[in-house]
Structure 1
Amino acid sequence: MRHPSLEYLLVGCVAAIVTLLLTPVARRVAIRIGAVAKPRDRDVHAVAIPRMGGVAIFAGFALALFVASRLPTLGDGFKFGPDMGWIVGAGAVICGIGVLDDIYELDSLTKLAGQALATGLMVIKGDVQLDFLPLVGSTLSFDRNLGVPVTILLTLLIINALNFIDGLDGLAAGVCTISAVAFFVFSYHLAQEGFTGSASPPTLLAAALAGTCIGFLPHNFFPAKIFMGDSGSMLVGLMLSAAATTSTTTTDSQVFNDTPGSLAIFLPLIVPLSVLALPFVDLLLAVVRRVARGRSPFAPDKQHLHHRLLEIGHSHRRAVLLLYFWSAVVAFAGVGVSFEGSQWFVLWLLVAFVVLGLAVSLVPNLRRQRTPGPAVAGATRHRDRLKAGGPTRH
């Protein structure tokens, strides 16, 4: 079966164009109904900015899937795998809950309940469920009684991980774009190996999601005209989970039987974990940090990864680009090992990029150590005058 590359490209373009055109409309509506993010102590932005960009993202995503259902090859793909209608319906539910939060700022437990409701619809009705996990020499199979709660739990983790990193202009949208493109490349590779039917759901979801985030970025990148809000961050988290789950359960490790050692067995786990590494690390650090201080895991603070980059001297734009870089390095390293004969090349390339990334990330600290700031320089001059017995000014 020939892989429908042009159809996926069309789906991505439809998602991007619709989201790009509808985002200004969502912005005007958000301003009119009061869905505006006012600056708080933990926020980076200094002026009120409308949110609710998730509405435009959902519209682009839903219309892209509708177009896909009418295409010759992708339309047939709707007969396999999960129920796309219920996936879109679950997206509508979580987007609606996010809109309420964008307007009224719901408490964390109410949002968690709404996330669980939308996730349950996607998992139970949409049949987006982990069937097995690969292990060394065997697989761990899940029956429905175990697979459903495990999938719901993992999905809730992904949703909140994406929600946690949505703290700088364009950060969540950019990281989601990178993640979706990485999933697309991995699933596309599966289809090229002859698994077109099984790889169709994650490839389609990734193409539509990447398109929506690309269409949203021009309005959201620094300086942002609109935020995606919880209506957007929770939605893209849910859709990323759907892509990750379907890519994991439809992967046959025999496709990668030439991979050195037992690495092939773990590829269905390595790829999703590497793609979502950045938001998961930020989520884990936040939970550990807050629990260690006796606070709720959902209590907000100003110590996320992006906040730390700003603290050491990076500009807003540079901090976002650095996090894009790290997300892409880890994500595409995981995807790269799935290609036959590329493992050593990917390893050396990963080492080179990590060294480069560390050097660029630490540049502000190095500058700060070399060149004292005005306060330090003034204190040094004051101390030198005292030693020389000269006059001082206060």
Structure 2
Amino acid sequence: MTETAVLPIREYLLVGLTAAALTFLLTGVARRVAMRLGAMAYPRARDVHAQPMPYLGGLAMYAGVAGGMYLAHQLPVLRAAFEFSLDPIGVLIGGGVIVLIGAVDDRFELDAWTKLAGQVMCAGILVLFGVQWSTFWVPWGGSDGDVGTLFQLDQNQGGLLVVLLVVTMVNAMNFVDGLDGLAAGIGLVAASALCVFSLGLLATTGGDVATYPPALIGATLAGACLGFLPHNFQPAKLFMGDSGSMFIGLMLAGAITSASGKMSYPQYNTTNIVALLSPLIVVAGALFLPLLDLLMAVIRRTRRGESPFAADKMHLHHRLLEIGHSQRRAVLLMYMWAGLLAFGTVALTLFEAAAVFWIMLLGLLVGVLVSAVPRLRSRPKEAAK
């Protein structure tokens, strides 16, 4: 491995820890600001908290990410992430706008269509800064011994794909933010997995600087989520609110696009379907839980003739509570599932696929058993009655 291919792991750790420290320190400030402005989460029928709770945790998270990126810009190695592309700047500006929209919603409760328009606008900011898909591979229609077909996307097609991804991820993270520490923990797992995936690409491509921006976005977001968790884990001192959940969704969409949207597929063996599918596999694994929750909610609500944005109490975390898990145990189980799927799919792209598959299958079986323990215990009691 050449000198340019040396993995700057220490630099990314430093940036991530800086983002974590800033978020941890500034969360208390955000809490006081929320209480002064009246940005409070008052208990509703679908909520699990019993006391009013301050919002605006997303402000501290954004400050942590901004601080981490500023430090990265000062480091000789990671500065290449800003010189190669405008992806980090685009994500930072688009993230700042969506945090402001979320903060206004935390205080005044915007309607769903206004928030959707704001999400599309923020996705447009990413596109303006070049955060968009230029290539997209599908596993069918190959020729001359190649597996699949590589599509070259124009700016309109690539931009539309970014808008769809941002809106999907923002609302998925918003939907999953229903228990103390849940969205922050899943954001931490997904961002860490995307960072590791980008570093894996950096190693396999001989130091391609194109992998620096997504790794930086993932590292700073993971740090911000880590710094926020001590304040937000049950019992929470404040909530991230829409300012935080929408910010996490946009950052994840930006990291995914930066990592996969401009990937140079010819560097792979075109008969290795796992390698070619690696971007899609990692995205599916890292974001499976929030996307599944979003899909189930949309289907459930539209079947009842309701708006997809109508609130209810039937999300995945609510179902774990109904089974008999406590809030903390339900959150930890969601962490386990997210970590297993996210890092398992990343491992598929970096190690022997067959071995990783069997390890993942074993982990999934253990996860199912652990998740079903309360129900399994209740059946003998019901039979005894």
Same fold (TM over 0.5): yes
Specify the code of the residue in structure 1 equivalent to 2:130. Answer: D
TM-score normalised per structure 1: 0.91
Conservation of the 8 A alpha-carbon contact between 1:20 and 1:215: yes
Given the alignment, which residue of 302, 311, 314 partners 1:303? 314
Distance in 1, matches of 2:266 and 2:348, equals 14
1:143 to 1:253, Cα distance in 2 relative to 1, 3 A = closer
* 1:362 and 2:384 are equivalent in the alignment: no
Identity rate, percent: 48
Structure 2: runs of 5+ lacking an equivalent: 140-147
* 1:131 and 2:171 are equivalent in the alignment: no
* 1:60 and 2:60 are equivalent in the alignment: no
SS in 1 for 2:355: helix
- Identify the residue that residue 386 of structure 1 maps to in structure 2: none
- Identify the residue that residue 388 of structure 1 maps to in structure 2: none
Between stretches 264-273 and 209-218, larger displacement belongs to 264-273
Conservation of the 8 A alpha-carbon contact between 1:160 and 1:283: yes
* C-alpha distance after superposition, 1:211-234 (max 9, x if no partner): 000000000001111100000000
Structure showing greater radius of gyration is 1
Between stretches 133-142 and 12-21, larger displacement belongs to 133-142
Conservation of the 8 A alpha-carbon contact between 1:253 and 1:268: no
Q: CA RMSD in A?
A: 1.5
* C-alpha distance after superposition, 1:266-321 (max 9, x if no partner): 11211112111110000000000000000000000000000000001000000000
Conservation of the 8 A alpha-carbon contact between 2:186 and 2:335: yes
- Identify the residue that residue 108 of structure 1 maps to in structure 2: 112
TM-score normalised per structure 2: 0.93
Specify the code of the residue in structure 1 equivalent to 2:218. Answer: A
- Identify the residue that residue 18 of structure 2 maps to in structure 1: 14
* C-alpha distance after superposition, 1:14-61 (max 9, x if no partner): 100000000011011111111110100000111111111000000000
Q: How does 1:79-98 map to 2 (within 5 A)?
A: 79-98=83-102
Distance in 2, matches of 1:331 and 1:114, equals 29
Conservation of the 8 A alpha-carbon contact between 1:54 and 1:228: yes
Distance in 1, matches of 2:338 and 2:210, equals 27
Q: How does 1:264-303 map to 2 (within 5 A)?
A: 264-303=275-314
Distance in 2, matches of 1:322 and 1:254, equals 39
- Identify the residue that residue 325 of structure 2 maps to in structure 1: 314
Q: How does 1:194-209 map to 2 (within 5 A)?
A: 194-209=206-221
Specify the code of the residue in structure 1 equivalent to 2:345. Answer: G
Deviation for aligned residue 1:86: 2.8
* C-alpha distance after superposition, 1:74-103 (max 9, x if no partner): 112311133432321111110000000111
- Identify the residue that residue 387 of structure 1 maps to in structure 2: none
- Identify the residue that residue 357 of structure 2 maps to in structure 1: 347
Between stretches 70-79 and 291-300, larger displacement belongs to 70-79
Distance in 1, matches of 2:262 and 2:200, equals 13
SS in 1 for 2:349: coil
* C-alpha distance after superposition, 1:188-236 (max 9, x if no partner): 1111121430110100000000000000000000111110000000001
Specify the code of the residue in structure 1 equivalent to 2:124. Answer: G
Aligned residues: 372
Distance in 2, matches of 1:13 and 1:219, equals 16
Deviation for aligned residue 1:114: 1.0
Structure 1: runs of 5+ lacking an equivalent: 381-394
* 1:224 and 2:228 are equivalent in the alignment: no
Distance in 2, matches of 1:195 and 1:285, equals 40
